[in-house]
């Protein structure tokens, strides 16, 4: 079958790339950012090396917008659930506290905790409704001392999604992108040769593995609440696991491919990876190993930093990945 041949080709290529990239290093710290020109290692999916495919590679960047039909507020916060059917809410902190957290609990009873921007009236921030249809409880907490927080605002909402994939197509706090981003333009270029969504996933994955290196220094010093900047990762060509996952997620979503950025544990390490939805196949967890029968988990960070033998051994045991959150 065409799909199986494509996937086998993916795996063979990724095995070579995984070994090669162990010897690659990141960019220097003194670079001046200029996103008008980003030099890359050429990839088979690039418009520079490929014939245009049959799939439309026009970017589609869904844009969250404030509403007026379901806005809840007090002196501390504004919760805008007007477009909850699209898979997101917008929250703004308007109080005076400098340390504020948001918690969202859906029908799956998983508690998602975020830091909210503070000062100058706060800012509108977008958060996904990852648990799908059902009841959600949204709480805003203000710091009162050390690690203690008090409830500043609480609101329950009922969500009915217009489409189950919408939470995984819109940008949100962890996966921020818009139509003017270089990441979106690069995704369109990489999708130029594609005949299918699977081809797009392959091309973007190959590009990231070939061009982004793991930033060990950042991994050791990253602060709680770190939010990836996908264009910064694209320019510096280095990042931690969250950067890898956010960049690939943004690229794929801009190409109309539902993509979940997933956070949990890889072994004992806190980690991030992705799952994508491919028509006629379904959700493909992580990226991608196919043995002719079963899908296995792979993620872009491990593929660029782990030897082929170690990679296969780790991925063959799906218990190595424990999912906690979906963004």
pLDDT tens-digit profile of 168-210?
999 999 999 999 999 999 999 999 999 989 889 889 888 887 8
Which of the listed residues 130, 162, 194 is the one where a domain comes to its end?
162
Q: Are residues 194 and 279 in the same domain?
A: yes
Q: Are residues 155 and 189 in the same domain?
A: no
The yes-or-no verdict on residue 159 having pLDDT over 80 is yes
Least confident residue range of 35-44, 99-108, 167-176, 284-293: 284-293
Q: Are residues 194 and 52 in the same domain?
A: yes
CATH number, domain with residue 303: 3.10.620
Q: Say how many domains are in the chain.
A: 2
What token pair was written down for 252? Answer: 């794929």
pLDDT of residue 271: 67
Which of the listed residues 134, 162, 190 is the one where a domain comes to its end?
162
- Alpha-carbon 55 to chain mean position: 23
Q: Residue 215's closest CA among 204, 228, 206?
A: 228
Q: Are residues 187 and 266 in the same domain?
A: yes
Q: What Å distances lie between residue 9 and 116, 202, 204, 315, CA to CA?
A: 43, 10, 15, 18
Which of the listed residues 162, 182, 210 is the one where a domain comes to its end?
162
Q: Are residues 186 and 212 in the same domain?
A: yes
Stronger pLDDT, 151 or 264, i.e. the higher one: 151
- Whole-model pTM: value is 0.78
User: Taking a C-beta distance cutoff of 8 angstroms, is the pair 21, 210 a contact?
Assistant: yes
What's the CA gap between 50 and 168, in Å, rounded?
Answer: 29
Least confident residue range of 117-126, 145-154, 309-318: 309-318
Give the full edge-to-edge strand order of the sheet including 125-128: 71-73, 77-80, 88-93, 125-128
CATH number, domain with residue 146: 2.60.40.3760
pLDDT of residue 290: 29
Stronger pLDDT, 123 or 2, i.e. the higher one: 123
pLDDT of residue 309: 54
Q: Are residues 53 and 97 in the same domain?
A: no
Domain range for 106? 71-162
Evaluate whether residue 32 is within a structural domain.
Answer: yes
Q: Are residues 40 and 175 in the same domain?
A: yes
Q: Are residues 223 and 150 in the same domain?
A: no
The yes-or-no verdict on residue 153 having pLDDT over 80 is yes
pLDDT of residue 240: 85
Across the chain, what does the average pLDDT equal?
79
Mean pLDDT of 8-14: 38
Condensed to tens digits (0 to 9), the pLDDT of residues 45-93 reads 555 567 999 999 999 999 999 999 999 999 999 999 999 999 999 999 9
Q: Residue 40's closest CA among 209, 243, 217?
A: 209
The yes-or-no verdict on residue 31 having pLDDT over 60 is no
Mean pLDDT of 113-123: 93
The yes-or-no verdict on residue 234 having pLDDT over 70 is yes
Q: Are residues 125 and 8 in the same domain?
A: no
Evaluate whether residue 7 is within a structural domain.
Answer: yes
pLDDT of residue 5: 45
Q: Are residues 190 and 155 in the same domain?
A: no
Q: Are residues 23 and 150 in the same domain?
A: no
pLDDT of residue 9: 42
The yes-or-no verdict on residue 19 having pLDDT over 70 is no
Q: What Å distances lie between residue 41 and 32, 38, 207, CA to CA?
A: 20, 10, 8
Evaluate whether residue 66 is within a structural domain.
Answer: no
Per-residue pLDDT band at 269 (split at 50, 70, 90): low
Per-residue pLDDT band at 26 (split at 50, 70, 90): very low
Q: Are residues 246 and 192 in the same domain?
A: yes
């Amino acid at each position: 079958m065409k799909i199986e041949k494509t996937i086998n080709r993916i795996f063979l290529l990724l095995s070579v790339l995984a070994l090669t990239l162990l010897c690659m290093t990141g960019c220097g710290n003194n670079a001046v950012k200029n996103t008008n020109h980003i030099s890359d290692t050429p990839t088979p999916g690039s418009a520079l090396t490929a014939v245009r495919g049959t799939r439309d590679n026009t970017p589609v960047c869904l844009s969250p917008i404030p509403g007026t039909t379901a806005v809840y507020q007090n002196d501390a916060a504004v919760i805008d659930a007007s477009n909850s059917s699209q898979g997101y809410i917008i929250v703004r902190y308007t109080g005076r506290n400098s340390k504020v957290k948001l918690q969202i609990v859906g029908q799956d009873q998983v508690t998602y905790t975020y830091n909210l921007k503070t000062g100058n009236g706060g800012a509108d921030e977008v958060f996904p409704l990852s648990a799908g249809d059902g009841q959600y409880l949204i709480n805003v907490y203000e710091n009162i001392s050390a690690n203690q927080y008090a409830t500043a605002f609480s609101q329950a909402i009922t969500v009915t999604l217009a489409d189950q994939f919408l939470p995984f197509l819109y940008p949100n706090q962890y996966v921020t992108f818009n139509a003017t981003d270089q990441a979106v333009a690069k995704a369109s270029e990489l999708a130029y040769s594609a005949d299918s969504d699977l081809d797009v996933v392959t091309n973007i994955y190959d590009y990231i593995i070939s061009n982004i290196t793991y930033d060990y220094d950042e991994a050791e010093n990253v602060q709680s609440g770190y939010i990836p900047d996908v264009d910064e990762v694209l320019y510096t060509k280095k990042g931690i696991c969250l950067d890898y996952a956010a960049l690939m997620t943004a690229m794929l979503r801009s190409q109309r491919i539902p993509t979940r950025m997933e956070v949990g544990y890889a072994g004992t390490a806190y980690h991030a990876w992705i799952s994508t939805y491919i028509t006629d196949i379904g959700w493909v967890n992580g990226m991608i190993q196919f043995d002719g029968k079963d899908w296995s988990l792979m993620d872009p960070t491990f593929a660029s930093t782990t030897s082929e033998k170690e990679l296969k051994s780790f991925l063959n045991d799906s218990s190595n990945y424990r999912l906690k959150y979906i963004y």
